[in-house]
Each structure stands twice: as structure tokens, then as C-alpha cells.
Amino acid sequence: MSSLDTIPVATEVATGNVEPLLHEIRHALKRLASGGEGTTIDLTRLPLAPSEEERIEETLGTGEVRAQVDALGPTLIQETSYPGVWLITHKNVDDVVVARFIEVTRIPELLRSQQADIDAGIDRLEDELRN
């Protein structure tokens, strides 16, 4: 029996949502450049055909920065070939995607060390030095 991918079913369907999304990113990038305003786009909520998410990724490409945050499962943070445009993929502990965003920002918030974590780190370090 042949494998599923040998069955000739076409999935090259276009909703027409890719180009408007790319224009939205262009406008967001201009706002970031001129006034520093950031934008987040929730990819999970957009009606995209199966191949369109890949087309968006291909168009945006990959840039210089790639990071992984390990908190409640991995989060992959990739700067695209357009500086300031980041693709963020949140996965759960089973490696299943739970949310996907495009963030137009100088640095995604999740990469910054958070105040609460810094405070907790100070406490831990002080405990360590006391013992």
C-alpha cells in the first residue's frame, strides 16, 4: 500500500490572505521604525490554507537571531530576514504548537529577563551564598 503523500490530492489553495498579511507587517514595521510602536499578529486565528503558513514563512525568511525559551515547553523565537519582524512559536511540553505569533518589535518581551524572575534569582543566590 502506498503512503498517504503519494495520493494525488492538491492542497495548493489560496485564501488571498497572505498578501494582505504581508502588507500589515510592512505597515507595522514602518510604525516601529518611526515611533517605536510594536505590533503582534496572532497567526492561529487567521483562516489560512494548509500551504499558506509555509508561504508566509518562506517570504519572511530567517534572519540573524534564533532563540529558544524553555518555559512550559519550548518557545522558538526567530527573527526573520526583515529585522524587527519575529516569528514566535509556542509549544507545549509534548512539542505541540499551542500558539503562533508574528511580533513586530525591537526585541520580543519573552526574551527579556523578567523582574519577578530577577527578584527570585536574587533570593536564590543569597540562599546559596549563605549555605
Partner 1 sequence: MPKDQNLGEYLRLQGVSRRGFLKFCSATASLMALPPSAVAQVAEALATARRPSVIWLSFQECTGCTESLTRSHAPTVESLIFDAISLDYHHTLQAAAGHGAEAAREAAQEENKGEYILVVDGSIPVGNPAYSTIAGISNLDMLKNAAQDCFAIVAVGTCAAFGGLPNANPNPTGAVSVSEIIKDKPIINVSGCPPIPAVITGVLAHFLTFGSIPELDSLGRPAAFFGQNIHDRCYRRPFYERGQFAATFDDEGARKGWCLYKLGCKGPTTYNACATVKWNQGTGFPIQAGHGCIGCSEPNFWDKGGFYSPISAGMWGTREQLLGAAAVGAALGVGSAIAARRRQKKAQETVL
From residue 17 to residue 36, what is the string marking binding to partner 1 with x (rule CB under 8 A)? --------------------
Out of 2, 4, 6, 50, which residue is the one contacting partner 1 (CB under 8 A)? 50
Q: Could you tell me how far CA 99 lies from the centroid of its own chain?
A: 9
Regarding 16 and contact with partner 1 (CB under 8 A), the answer is yes
111: CB partners within 8 A, 6+ apart: 67, 69, 77
- What is the C-alpha R_g of the chain? 19
Q: Cell digits for 51?
A: 500551504
Segment 87 to 126, residues that bind partner 1, using CB under 8 A: 90, 92-94, 96-99, 101, 109-110, 114-117, 120
67 binds partner 1 (CB under 8 A): no
